[in-house]
Amino acid sequence: MIGSGPIVIGQAAEFDYAGTQACKSLKEEGHEVVLINSNPATIMTDWNVADALYIEPLTPEFCERVIARERPDAVLPTLGGQTGLNLATELADRGVLETYGVRLLGTPLSAIRKAEDREEFRDLMRQIKEPVPESWIIESEAQLEAVLEVVPYPCIIRPAYTLGGTGGGIANTREELWETGRKGLKLSMRSQLMVERSLLGWKEVEYEVMRDSAGNCITVCNMENLDPMGVHTGDSIVVAPSQTLSDIEYHMLRTASLKIIQALGIEGGCNVQLAVNPDSFDYYVIEVNPRVSRSSALASKATGYPIARVAAKIAVGRTLDQIDNQVTGTTKACFEPALDYCVVKIPRWPFDKFATGDRNLFTQMKATGEVMAIDRTFESALMKAIRGLEVRSKDLRHPKTQAFTDEELRHAIGKPTDERLWALVEGLRRGWGVDEVNRLSRVDRWFLRKLAKLLAVEERLLAARTGSSEAVDALVSEAFLIGFPSVSIGALLGIDDDRLDPGFRAAAKGAIEAQKVLPVFKMVDTCAGEFESATPYYYGTFEDEDDAFAVASS
């Protein structure tokens, strides 16, 4: 096993989770595990996770020395992030694996190359008739001029090899493409740029799929980015399962994802990213990650389906129908999980520490971590995720965006940053309406309507302090049920604001205590209650039936 090394942006704790699971899974199968990883802060580099542990630099030279010393039968390259995969590829290229007779497990390198090499991937997609966005490599002004008539507008210009990715942009007309493109050629150290069809504003959807060596495939779950195309999925707010796709779209994309994993011949887990036109059934395949990724960690936690564990077993030859689903204990890994709840992930960015950093979000990931929240509705899962971020805003209020001028706010809604969620809310707060905020941000109206619904409760709580006649008790109860925590309710009602009438404040405080409902805890069981399940993985929600008590008492 090759680990993923130090935590960097884009490669965080998810590979400790995946690697630890894989080690356990391989040991269960009776294999002896040799691990190399340079990161001492991980569980996988513990004394007894692997059978032989090497805390050594993750360079081809050190890996080769470990291989020479341990003489492993095989290397598993797809569970150590891009670092592990690159190292395995390099060891194969240098002939190290051949010299020592080491097999590569899981997805063959040829399939990995097909997924990662732009040209090979496009060829394969054309063969199986899956659409990929058109693009052109431009290396001179003459070439640029030649494509002006050909490319679809708007298009994206990405100069290669520039400092900080400067010089790129969007062109809406041929004049803009000519201008920006010529500048880009000059800025690029190798005079090279790529022009591609712009999918900005399209919905971004991901499918987590698994395939075994016998060709069985399943989708673990799909996930929808609240932020439309244009923001790295690691920097997007993500919802699972998708909330705004029609049944036809859901299955169209699921079929495409399964077709792709089958055509690539992946043996293990894989993540397929797709862009969907919000106004038609058009879609494009954006990217495939032929390995366990950050998204698969999220999908595992969102569904209860242990992707890394199953991927490791597939790599040593098991098929999906032979692997037990540990969560239910009664079903097999070939059952597609079903979700009877909504999951929201919000990234955690480092701009509290890097105040001067560029907060604009684009295709380069900037988040260091993320939080996930589970509840029965999007609204309450979102509220949980926000307050779990440990940033200054604990709910929908955000002093900075609330202080924006209309002009600044319009900009903040249109241009994604770590603060855009609150900018969307503020647009709605100013009465701009769902349609206008959608036009500016391209965030689906469904999400915006949910934000508006939460905002309406916030506004009524604020109004209550200025003497609206509404019964505070009922209002507080409603706020709890939709997902506001008591601290937010208290702050909105102004219980600590000594300019307010003490009688009102006492009544409000009383209402919060009296109306506070204890949540029940529901189980994440991979099957939406279809089968008996006994895994103690819970989320809280305001309903009647408590799964946790049921387990405890049985």
Least CB distance to other proteins at residue 47 (A): 6
User: In the complex with other proteins, which residue's Cβ is closer, 8 or 514?
Assistant: 8
Closest CA to 227 of 206, 249, 201: 201
User: In the complex with other proteins, which residue's Cβ is closer, 249 or 546?
Assistant: 546
Is beta strand 103-104 parallel, antiparallel or unpaired with respect to 74-75? parallel
Burial classification of residue 110, based on how many CB atoms lie within 10 Å of its CB (0-12 exposed, 13-18 middle, 19 or more buried): exposed
Identity (one letter) of the amino acid at 490? G
Least CB distance to other proteins at residue 326 (A): 7
Least CB distance to other proteins at residue 442 (A): 24
User: In the complex with other proteins, which residue's Cβ is closer, 150 or 552?
Assistant: 552
Say if residues 371 and 346 touch (Cβ distance below 8 Å): yes
- Read out DSSP for 272-332? EEEEE-TTSS-EEEEEEE-S--HHHHHHHHHH---HHHHHHHHHTT--GGGSB-TTTSSSB
Q: Could you give the CA distance from residue 104 to residue 315 in angstroms, rounded to a whole number?
A: 9
Query: Which two structure tokens, joined as six digits, stand for 248?
Result: 């036809």
Say if residues 344 and 322 touch (Cβ distance below 8 Å): no
User: In the complex with other proteins, which residue's Cβ is closer, 80 or 427?
Assistant: 80
User: In the complex with other proteins, which residue's Cβ is closer, 276 or 523?
Assistant: 523
CA distances from 125 to 120, 122, 129, 219, 270 (A): 9, 5, 6, 19, 16
User: In the complex with other proteins, which residue's Cβ is closer, 385 or 527?
Assistant: 385
Q: Could you give the CA distance from residue 167 to residue 183 in angstroms, rounded to a whole number?
A: 7
Least CB distance to other proteins at residue 91 (A): 15
Q: Which residues contact 484 (CB under 8 A, 6 or more apart)?
A: 383, 395, 454, 457, 458, 461, 492
Least CB distance to other proteins at residue 533 (A): 11
Say if residues 165 and 232 touch (Cβ distance below 8 Å): no
Least CB distance to other proteins at residue 390 (A): 6
Least CB distance to other proteins at residue 304 (A): 6
User: In the complex with other proteins, which residue's Cβ is closer, 210 or 440?
Assistant: 210
CA atoms within 13 A on the CB side of 350: 13
User: In the complex with other proteins, which residue's Cβ is closer, 249 or 547?
Assistant: 547
Query: Which two structure tokens, joined as six digits, stand for 462?
Result: 């604020």
User: In the complex with other proteins, which residue's Cβ is closer, 13 or 260?
Assistant: 13
Instruction: Name residue 157's beta-bridge partners.
Output: 169, 195
Q: Could you give the CA distance from residue 508 to residue 472 in angstroms, rounded to a whole number?
A: 7
CA distances from 134 to 44, 153, 177, 199, 286 (A): 42, 11, 15, 11, 11
Least CB distance to other proteins at residue 199 (A): 22
User: In the complex with other proteins, which residue's Cβ is closer, 3 or 106?
Assistant: 3
User: In the complex with other proteins, which residue's Cβ is closer, 44 or 177?
Assistant: 44
User: In the complex with other proteins, which residue's Cβ is closer, 150 or 163?
Assistant: 163
Q: Could you give the CA distance from residue 24 to residue 196 in angstroms, rounded to a whole number?
A: 43
Least CB distance to other proteins at residue 384 (A): 5
Instruction: Name residue 205's beta-bridge partners.
Output: 224, 274
Least CB distance to other proteins at residue 165 (A): 8
User: In the complex with other proteins, which residue's Cβ is closer, 202 or 480?
Assistant: 480
- Read out DSSP for 490-511? HHHHTTT-TTS-HHHHHHHHHH
CA distances from 30 to 33, 68, 260 (A): 9, 22, 32
Q: Which residues contact 125 (CB under 8 A, 6 or more apart)?
A: 131, 132, 260, 285
User: In the complex with other proteins, which residue's Cβ is closer, 116 or 525?
Assistant: 525
Q: At what angle do helices 433-441 and 406-414 cross, to 10 degrees?
A: 60
Least CB distance to other proteins at residue 372 (A): 4
Least CB distance to other proteins at residue 438 (A): 28
Say if residues 384 and 392 touch (Cβ distance below 8 Å): no
Least CB distance to other proteins at residue 346 (A): 9
